[in-house]
Amino acid sequence: MDVHDAVTPPPPDLPEVVLEEMVSRTNLSEVWRGKRRGDGMPMAVKFATSPASAEALEPEAETVCALEEAGVRGIVHAQYSPFPVPHIVFPWMGRSTFRDTIQAMKSGDDRSRAVGTFLRVVETVAAVHSEQFMHGDLKPENILVDDRGQPWLTDFGMARAIRSARLDSHVSRSMDQTEDGWGGTLHYLPPEGMQGEAPTRSWDVYALGVILHEILLGRRPDRGATPETLRTVLPGQVVDVLLRALAYSPDDRFASAVPLNRALEEIRFELTATGPVRWALRCKRLALAGFAAFFVGLRYTSVFALLAGYAAILVLAFSWNPGVAALYLCFLLLHLVIRWEGPESPEEARLRKQGTAAWRR
């Protein structure tokens, strides 16, 4: 019987937590909210719903404990218990995820604040990678956001599950569809992951690139979007970092979140500016694009004006003396050969398109 159609019995009573309600369920796991016995502290409990995820529960808790011992912050503490059934207990962080943050964006300032939260996530992932670990299933749903707006990474068990199941059966279906209709991990999986290769830290980099694309442009990456198109709506440095994070080949991608974090830190101010500062930066970009378009247009206008002037003089010369006209024609051709600067360079074309798009907006 398919796991989607299976009736899940209520979990057994746990010695440490009194369960109250199930808050989420996928093909791999289900999470329950409850209260810790004794002090009533809100807790969450994760149960496995497939053999692959059951095998990943204990390694997931061990990974979290190892990262905590190494001083990594921004991850949700997890404690594994095999009795009466295998499960993980962790503090209840609320129902809000980074998906809610993205969907709640209404203005440019909201977007800048979301980027600020995202940068804290990148810092945490960089610390995880520095300890030679990886997450393996980065997506907004696996980033919890507490009441103070602090992001917390959770669900470190997918890398083990992917490696053992190779995207087959339950794992593949869980990644392909989730309860909220947004889809699942497949949207954040790099091309080599679709081919069943073993997970690496560059998988996390690709997933972070997808999330950043969602924040900045309101949608996941589109194959039809070219670098030129992105540069009409985003600053050039931002596009460079985004494209490298989303590179098709892992060799062209950031090897881990550590260099990605450094690259984002260099453009943090522009990404997170709010209020008058953000508008000032936007006006600056528009002004630069306008000046670029002006000087590119001036170049062609001056050439056309020069040719028109030469043509007028040539007409007068022919009407006066054919010999002088022939000599002048030779001089004109020589001057054009010297004056011609060659075809438009890619950089000049980019500036012209950027200026045109900026003025249209």
- Cα–Cα dist 129/132, whole Å: 5
pLDDT for 258: 97
* Residue 356 pLDDT exceeds 60: no
pLDDT tens figures, 99-127:
999 999 998 889 989 999 999 999 999 99
29 DSSP β-pair partners: 48
Residue 40 has pLDDT above 70, yes or no: yes
**Beta-carbon neighbour count of residue 320 at 10 Å?**
10
Residue type at position 317: A
Is-contact 241 264, C-beta < 8 A? yes
Q: What is the pLDDT of residue 50?
A: 79
Phi–psi pair at 44, nearest 5 degrees? -125, 145
Note if the bond before 84 is cis, omega within 30 degrees: yes
Q: Are strands 151-153 and 87-91 parallel, antiparallel or unpaired?
A: unpaired
Percent share of the chain, pLDDT over 70 = 66
pLDDT tops 60 at residue 360: no
Q: What per-residue confidence (pLDDT) applies to 234? A: 84
Alpha-helix runs per DSSP H in 177-321? 191-194, 201-217, 227-231, 236-245, 257-266, 268-272, 275-320
Mean residue pLDDT across the chain: 79
Return the CATH superfamily for domain 94-272.
Transferase(Phosphotransferase) domain 1 (1.10.510.10)
pLDDT at 280: 66
Q: What are phi and psi of 105, to 5 degrees?
A: -70, 125
DSSP state, 322?
H
Q: Burial letters for 244-268: b for 16+ Cβ neighbours within 10 Å, e otherwise?
A: bbbbeebeebbebbbebbebbeeee
| DSSP, residue by residue, 65-121 | HHHHHTT--SB---EEE-SSS-EEEEE---S-BHHHHHHT--SHHHHHHHHHHHHHH
Domain positions in the chain: 94-272, 277-360
Rounded CA separation 242/209 (Å):
6
Q: Which amino acid is at 87?
A: H
Kindly indicate the confidence band of residue 22, based on its pLDDT and cuts at 50, 70 and 90. Answer: very high
Q: What is the DSSP letter of 249?
A: S
